[in-house]
Amino acid sequence: MTTTVPADGHRTAFVDNDQKPCGHGRMLRKEDPRFVRGKGRYVDDLQLPGMLHLAILRSPLAHARLLSVDTSLAEAHPKVRLVVTGAMLAEKGLAWMPTLSGDVQAVLATDKVRFQGQEVAFVVAEDRYAARDALELIDVEYEPLDPVIDVRTALAPDAPVIRDDLEGKQDNHCFDWETGDAAETDAVFARADVVVKEDIVYPRVHPAPMETCGAVADYDAVDGKLTLWSTTQAPHAHRTLYAIVAGLPEHKIRVVSPDIGGGFGNKVPIYPGYVCAIVGSLLTGKPVKWMEDRSENLITTGFARDYIMRGEIAATREGKILAVRTHVLADHGAFNGTAAPVKYPAGFFGVFTGSYDIEAAYCKMTAAYTNKAPGGVAYACSFRITEAVYLIERIVDCLAYELGVDPVELRMKNLIRPEQFPYRTKTGWVYDSGNYAPTMELATQLAGYAELRAEQAEKRVRGELMGIGVSFFTEAVGAGPRKDMDILGLGMADGCELRVHPTGKAVVRLSVQSQGQGHETTFAQIVAEELGIPPQDIEVVHGDTDQTPFGLGTYGSRSTPVSGAAAALVARKVRDKARLIASSMLEVSVADLEWEKGSFRVAGDPKASVTIQDIAMRAHGAGDLPDGVEGGLEAQICYNPENLTYPHGAYICVVDIDPGTAKVTVRRFVAVDDCGTRINPMIIEGQVHGGLTDGVGMALMEMIAFDEDGNCLSGSLMDYLIPTSLEVPDWETGFTVTPSPHHPIGAKGVGESATVGSPPAIVNAVVDALKPFGVRHADMPLTPSRVWEAMQGRPTPPI
Amino acid sequence: MQVTMNVNGEEVSREIEGRLLLVHFLRDHLRLTGTHWGCDTSNCGTCVVWLDGEPVKSCTVLAAMAGGHEVRTVEGMEQDGELDAVQKGFVECHGLQCGFCTPGMMMTARALLDRNPDPSEQEIREAISGQICRCTGYATIVRSIRWAAAEEAGTRTTATEASTS
Amino acid sequence: MQVPAPFEYQRVHSVGEAIALLDRLGDTARLVAGGHSLIPMMKLRLANFEYLIDINELHHQLGYIRVESGLIRIGAMTRHRELLESDELAAAFPIFRDAERVIADPVVRNRGTLGGSLCQADPSEDLSAVCTTLGASCVIQGLDGERVVSMEDFHRGPYETAVGDAEMLTEVRFPVRPGGSSAYEKVERRAGDWAVVSAGAAVWLDGGSIADARVGLAAVGPNTAGIPGIADIMRGRAPGEELYARAGQIAAEACSPVTDRRGSAEYKRHLARELTVRVLRRAVARAGRQEA
């Protein structure tokens, strides 16, 4: 019986799952039987009696004044029940809504349109085809305005002002943010032997989950209750925002997030479409469904990245890294729709010092509005750590290039040492635990790093282009301690409730929501590990605000670090109560009881024991309970994490480039991850594989591009390319385990590790392959054309 | 117009618009919601069903075109309460996460194994290359299909089956 | 999901029925075969028709690959997969299998047809480049019988063909000459993407020298283009790297690529050269093996 597969080979083996771990270990997913039968329940699967369909008319222009909206022809369509414009919403005070960053965003445009695809009006009709047809019958008159597309010129004094809806706004400045010690950093740079500077662009990309965003709103006028089935990663946070926007009392709003076809951060923000569906149902008294199409998803919903970064690194001649400095220009689109903790407008970009023990660091960032879709934190970015890790891992490779040293060697020399943990970085973050060198060593061993370098040397002689790229990342996940972190004033602590039924079966209720991460399995395993109740006997309830305790949802790899801790602790609370009942059942003092997974037994008397199932029956049964013990076996908790958790990993990528066509092939990818205690290795491996594929996408092909008029050029999956099975290798994974000292079971998040860690490894590999051409840096996406341009000595930024 | 077709072995007949896409006919009219849709341009493959035994993208086939023909969806995979080997393989090898691409992937996998009972990793990758999975990174899907091939060939060992391709 | 505007669906069971219907309905009607180019455009409402005439039932009649003496005839309703899997076709024209392996994806190839691809006339479309390379001719059926046009005449411009309102493409004919072989290569950003640039080559050897050579390119101009200049310099010469390089140079000079999301014009011009060299090299090698 194998539960985990050690990182001892190039291929990760899999095993038949005839074992059923009562706790942590490889276990097949409880949710799969419905999915493989086509019985998942996604939002668009929902059909309610009398349900109507909503479609949104969107602006074809990026920046224009709205002169008039004529809906008369659409209203005359025989199947149309309702047409709503911004002016109509404004009358109800619903034309604008708050974003998760404390900005406001138009639900439907009233004054201007500020990005291509912005919502202008909506139609509610009897079927989805008619709703689409009616959009073509709405006549909108626009007065085009000069668009602001290039963020580099957005802050120029003569730039058109996008956000004239904000009182007194005279420019396109969004926010400034800095961290670290500028003077100290400058001083270290001044005395450094070597300083390397590189301009690095992380282009705008999109999470593009396979299921687009959508909702079904059903307002029951009789009992005044609104039920909203929606594709949300954060049902509780959304409910609170709807309560604020719509003025409905919170207990009269039920948000249900059913099965979700992938999220990756795309389903964290509140989109105007959700609000439109609610308004549509309020006004028609019928259930209203809105499902965006793929173009709407790509053009209008939460993008990611869009950072223009200048990275600087200072080091000694011997390769000791001394300091890192960066200036960032961030494109936030037309509205600041970033979902990030209030105190961190740049997300957790502050971890840009990476995994290295350095003397000083400083970052200055300016964010600007442009005439592009709002968003900013998405695509498994861990609140902008993706950008930070890319910056540091790219600039460290630039340093290796200048020093002429091996990139693994350079990293090994500078990694934070195990005895330095908990490690306070120069930007104030406290890394909870880490043992970095063994992770890097395991990766080089799995990859056969020395042999790869030898092969590369041979190939270079023959003119073949092979590259080996390395990255080492530290993530900060599990937001977060409520003293530091909140979103719109909502603390980032998670509730959890556990009830053990009389027969010893249990139900655990979570605030987080799975979009494929396998919560129904993992959380059952967490509780099983603590209580000894088989995971099959534990039902996991999530994604329904009427059925679950409050919490902020699933993103930023926070489910295991926050709710996972809550689940373990609530189970321990139940166990504590069970102990009291067991002591009365066994007629011994609590101190004489020993817990062995699933039962309490009397110390020194192995025959005297009661199982958790016995205790559950007793807790609900006839007869007295010990003094002060209430009947039932249940508990609840709200877990406030002490710190973030800091998973880390070492990745090695091998690429081949066709010298004639400049096409990059990812030949191998070795990923060694350390996410602390591993609950279900199968699920962890799956999370890593998915993130690595994201990395291939971003590094080689994905980008949301615009023309100079602000037209989005990546509005379909024909134009926004996502890797297929043919662009990715058979992943090679390994792991090390450094538990988190403050998490009750030592687990750290892993959902985004590979998305964060893989882009620099791939880009580093491509740049390494291009060394014979004198290339030190080339920006993503490294399409054949862009690689060829780099080979010609003219690498260009993508924007 | 009236359209009649055989879906998962059953004759169905409905009054439809000529423009109705097969995917919407299956999902909205027959309520077979296991077939999904994820794009407008036949790139994603979440809508793959069989038309006369061949995988097709049902977002790019009119329901009317399927009139008089045979359609098979994910709901037709399980036979007499027994999951298809492909379905089992996806469960066994973690071939799915969010489950959205899964029905289409499995329909293509089933068709592949019917034509080629022992496909190589590369053949599997080519077969599913018109279908996007955003979660799994494909490796476990490849393993799932190989698991199913081995299961049907009776060569699957009960202990450890490495993905030895 | 985006959906087409309303239209009336008509299904036909014979070529005559299709043409009669087209004649009656004029330019408000359009034929649909596999539909994998047309239906997405209708969903995006870039194309709207009052009538859509489904010719898929004609697959029984027009789905064929017939190898005759000196000629291969392929029915317009032959699906990509059938073209990919035909050993007879691969033996005569390996370019087909090269190209079909990289056209769209396997599921789309189950549905898309030769005739549909050619009539879509996308400048990046691979089968058009294959047909151009092979010097194919197109059989167009109308009310008064059929006419045969060369590929050069078939493509009038981007998305525009010689097929008139009451006509349909029924067959594509490929002359077979001895000593020949062919090859195709495509650079794409990702599997299933349209070509950044594609090139096809067909060569005919006579003893140690080249009797004839044709090169066709896709995605580097308004039409998939044949480059006659290449035949002129290659005929009568012994194949070799220097000759391929000269042919590549001609291809690079003859094409007119534009910069877009798939790549810069300079890169595409480079690819026209590089791919021309590669496909000529491979086609000659194949022809040589055949001769031996």
DSSP one-letter string for A671-702 = EEEE-BS-S-HHHHHHHHHHHHHHHHHHHHT-
Tokens of C35: 């539909």
Q: Hey, which bits of A94-212 come out as E strands? A: 96-98, 104-106, 112-113, 119-125, 139-144, 173-180, 194-205
Report how far residue A334's alpha carbon sits from residue A148's, in angstroms, rounded to the nearest whole number: 10
Measured CB to CB, residues of chain A less than 8 Å from chain C are 128-129, 132-133, 136, 291, 293-295, 660-663, 701, 705, 713-714, 716, 718-719, 721, 723-724, 726-727, 783-785, 788-789, 792
Average pLDDT rounded to a whole number, residues A488-512? 96
Q: From A485, A315, A351, A363, select the one nearest A424 (Cα to Cα).
A: A351
Q: To the nearest whole percent, how much of chain A has pLDDT over 70?
A: 98
Structure confidence at residue A690 (pLDDT):
98
Position B157 confidence tier, pLDDT thresholds 50, 70, 90: low
Report how far residue C54's alpha carbon sits from residue B28's, in angstroms, rounded to the nearest whole number: 23
Structure confidence at residue A1 (pLDDT):
27
Domains of chain B: 2-76 (3.10.20.30), 85-153 (1.10.150.120)
Place of tokens 């050619």: C118
CB contact under 8 A, C274 and A727: no
Q: To the nearest whole percent, how much of chain A has pLDDT over 90?
A: 95
Structure confidence at residue A742 (pLDDT):
98
Q: Which CATH architecture has domain C62-175?
A: 2-Layer Sandwich (3.30)
Report how far residue A150's alpha carbon sits from residue A321's, in angstroms, rounded to the nearest whole number: 34
Strand partners, A304: A205, A376
Amino acid at A320: K
Place of tokens 């340093």: A399
Structure confidence at residue A2 (pLDDT):
27
Structure confidence at residue A522 (pLDDT):
98
Place of tokens 């039924």: A501
Contact between A365 and A371 under an 8 Å Cβ cutoff? The reply is: no
Position A15 confidence tier, pLDDT thresholds 50, 70, 90: very low
Structure confidence at residue A18 (pLDDT):
44
Dump the DSSP string for A4-71.
S--S-SSS--EE------SSSS----TTHHHHHTT---BGGG---TT-EEEEEEE-SSSSEEEEEEE-
Structure confidence at residue C224 (pLDDT):
75
C272: closest chain A residue by CA: A661
Q: What is the 3-state secondary structure (H, E, C) of A603-659?
A: CCEEEEEEEHHHHHHHHHCCCCCCCCCCCCEEEEEEECCCCCECCEEEEEEEEEECC
Mean pLDDT of chain C: 96
Average pLDDT rounded to a whole number, residues A628-655? 97
| Helix or strand run (H / E) with residue A362 | strand A360-368
Annotate A515-546 with b (16+ C-beta within 10 A) or e (fewer): bbbbbbbbbbbbbbbbbbbbbebbbbebbbbe
Q: Mapping DSSP to helix (H, G, I), strand (E, B) and coil, where does residue A203 land?
A: strand
CB contact under 8 A, A37 and B99: no
Report how far residue A633's alpha carbon sits from residue A618's, in angstroms, rounded to the nearest whole number: 9
Which residues have a Cβ under 8 Å from the Cβ of C248 and sit 6 or more positions away? Answer: C272, C273, C274, C276, C277, C280
Q: Kindly report the nearest CA distance between residue B37 and chain C, in angstroms.
A: 7
Report how far residue A512's alpha carbon sits from residue A563's, in angstroms, rounded to the nearest whole number: 7
pLDDT in tens, C97-138: 999 999 999 999 999 999 999 999 999 999 999 999 999 999
Q: Hey, which bits of A425-552 come out as E strands? A: 430-431, 465-474, 486-487, 490-491, 494-500, 506-510, 538-541
Average pLDDT rounded to a whole number, residues C225-234? 90
Structure confidence at residue B155 (pLDDT):
80
Average pLDDT rounded to a whole number, residues A302-322? 97
Contact between A390 and A651 under an 8 Å Cβ cutoff? The reply is: no
Report how far residue C263's alpha carbon sits from residue C265's, in angstroms, rounded to the nearest whole number: 7
Average pLDDT rounded to a whole number, residues C27-51? 94
* List of chains touching A (3+ CB pairs within 8 A): B, C
Structure confidence at residue A772 (pLDDT):
97
pLDDT in tens, A35-58: 999 999 999 999 999 999 999 999
Q: Where are the domains of chain C?
A: 8-54, 62-175, 180-291
Structure confidence at residue A677 (pLDDT):
98
Average pLDDT rounded to a whole number, residues A94-118? 96
**Please, what is the angle between helix A753-769 and helix A385-403, to 10°?**
30
Q: Mapping DSSP to helix (H, G, I), strand (E, B) and coil, where does residue C253 land?
A: helix
Average pLDDT rounded to a whole number, residues C259-286? 98
CB contact under 8 A, C191 and A295: no
Is C142 in the B-facing interface, judged by CB distances under 8 Å? no
CB contact under 8 A, C106 and B41: no
Average pLDDT rounded to a whole number, residues A696-718? 98
Contact between A778 and A465 under an 8 Å Cβ cutoff? The reply is: no
| Helix or strand run (H / E) with residue B31 | none
Report how far residue A557's alpha carbon sits from residue A675's, in angstroms, rounded to the nearest whole number: 11
Average pLDDT rounded to a whole number, residues B97-107? 98
Q: Kindly report the nearest CA distance between residue B59 and chain C, in angstroms.
A: 9
Is C6 in the A-facing interface, judged by CB distances under 8 Å? yes
Contact between A234 and A268 under an 8 Å Cβ cutoff? The reply is: yes
Structure confidence at residue A492 (pLDDT):
95
Q: Mapping DSSP to helix (H, G, I), strand (E, B) and coil, where does residue B35 land?
A: coil
End-to-end CA distance of chain A: 53
* pLDDT at residue B117 greater than cutoff 70: yes
Structure confidence at residue C292 (pLDDT):
63
* pLDDT at residue A6 greater than cutoff 50: no
| Helix or strand run (H / E) with residue A348 | none
C110, C190, C194: best to mutate for the B interface, most B CBs within 10 A = C110
Cβ-Cβ pairs closer than 8 A, B with C, add up to 94
Contact between A614 and A659 under an 8 Å Cβ cutoff? The reply is: no
Is B155 in the A-facing interface, judged by CB distances under 8 Å? no
Position A17 confidence tier, pLDDT thresholds 50, 70, 90: very low
Q: From A606, A680, A783, A674, select the one nearest A32 (Cα to Cα).
A: A680
Structure confidence at residue A4 (pLDDT):
34
Q: For residue C101, count CB atoms less than 10 angstroms from its CB and return exposed for 0-12, middle for 13-18, buried for 19 or more.
A: middle
Is A19 in the B-facing interface, judged by CB distances under 8 Å? no
* pLDDT at residue B162 greater than cutoff 90: no
Structure confidence at residue A375 (pLDDT):
87
pLDDT in tens, B29-40: 999 999 999 999
Q: Mapping DSSP to helix (H, G, I), strand (E, B) and coil, where does residue C186 land?
A: strand
* pLDDT at residue A16 greater than cutoff 60: no
Q: From A179, A196, A186, select the one nearest A359 (Cα to Cα).
A: A186
Q: For residue B121, count CB atoms less than 10 angstroms from its CB and return exposed for 0-12, middle for 13-18, buried for 19 or more.
A: middle
Contact between A664 and A657 under an 8 Å Cβ cutoff? The reply is: yes
Structure confidence at residue A254 (pLDDT):
98
Q: To the nearest whole percent, how much of chain C has pLDDT over 70?
A: 99
Average pLDDT rounded to a whole number, residues C180-187? 98
Give the closest of A2, A33, A209 to B160, CB-based: A2
* pLDDT at residue B154 greater than cutoff 80: yes
Q: Which residues of B touch C9 (CB under 8 A)?
A: 1, 18-19, 62, 64
Is B164 in the C-facing interface, judged by CB distances under 8 Å? no
- Note the ipTM here: 0.97
Report how far residue A635's alpha carbon sits from residue A574's, in angstroms, rounded to the nearest whole number: 6
Dump the DSSP string for A719-788.
TS----TTSS---EEEE-----SSSTT-B---TTHHHHHHHHHHHHHHHHHTGGGT----PSP--HHHHH
The better pLDDT of the pair A685, B162 is held by A685
Report how far residue A698's alpha carbon sits from residue A756's, in angstroms, rounded to the nearest whole number: 11
The better pLDDT of the pair A21, A663 is held by A663
Q: Which residues of B touch A212 (CB under 8 A)?
A: 38
Which residues have a Cβ under 8 Å from the Cβ of B37 and sit 6 or more positions away? Answer: A44, B23, B27, B44, B46, B47, B59, C1
Structure confidence at residue C217 (pLDDT):
96
pLDDT in tens, A175-222: 999 999 999 999 999 999 999 999 999 999 999 999 999 999 999 999
Structure confidence at residue C291 (pLDDT):
67
Q: Kindly list the distances between the CA atom of residue A153 and the CA atoms of A65, A171, A373, A799, in Å, as whole numbers in the listed order.
A: 21, 11, 17, 12
Domains of chain A: 44-145+212-260+267-300 (3.90.1170.50), 303-479+643-791 (3.30.365.10), 493-639 (3.30.365.10)
Pairing of strands A119-125, A80-85: antiparallel
Report how far residue A763's alpha carbon sits from residue A778's, in angstroms, rounded to the nearest whole number: 8
Q: For residue A318, count CB atoms less than 10 angstroms from its CB and return exposed for 0-12, middle for 13-18, buried for 19 or more.
A: exposed
CATH of C8-54, one of 3.40.50.360, 3.30.43.10, 3.40.47.10, 3.40.50.300: 3.30.43.10
Is B48 in the A-facing interface, judged by CB distances under 8 Å? no
Give the fold, CATH level 3, of C180-291.
Answer: Enolase-like; domain 1 (3.30.390)
